[in-house]
Amino acid sequence: MYKINEVVCYQNYGICQIIDIKELTVMNNKPRKYYFLRQMFDKCESTIIKIPVDTNNIMRQVITKENALLLIESLSSLDPVRVKDVREREALFKSMISSWKMEEWVKVIKSIYMMRNENRKSDKPKIMPIIDMKYFEKAESLFNQEMAYALELSENEIPVYIERMIENSMV
Give the start-to-end residue ranges of the domains of the chain.
7-61, 65-170
| Domain 65-170 in this protein, CATH class | mainly alpha
pTM for the model: 0.85
Per-residue exposure over 113-124, b if at least 16 CB sit within 10 Å of its own CB, e if not: eebeeeeeeeee
- Identify the pLDDT of residue 95: 95
pLDDT tens profile 31-80: 899 999 999 988 777 889 999 998 877 899 999 999 999 999 888 888 88
| Domain 7-61 in this protein, CATH class | mainly beta
How far apart (Å, rounded) are the C-alpha atoms in residues 134 and 61? 25
Q: Is it the case that residue 166 has pLDDT exceeding 80?
A: no
3-state secondary structure of 24: strand
How far apart (Å, rounded) are the C-alpha atoms in residues 85 and 131? 12
List Cβ neighbours of 2 (8 Å cut-off, separation of 6 or more): 8, 18, 21, 35, 59
Region class of 90: left (phi > 0), else alpha (psi between -120 and 50), else beta:
alpha
Q: Is it the case that residue 170 has pLDDT exceeding 60?
A: no
Pairing of strands 49-52, 59-61: unpaired
Tell which wins on pLDDT, 19 or 11: 19
Amino acid at site 72: I
Are the C-beta atoms of 48 and 38 separated by less than 8 Å? yes
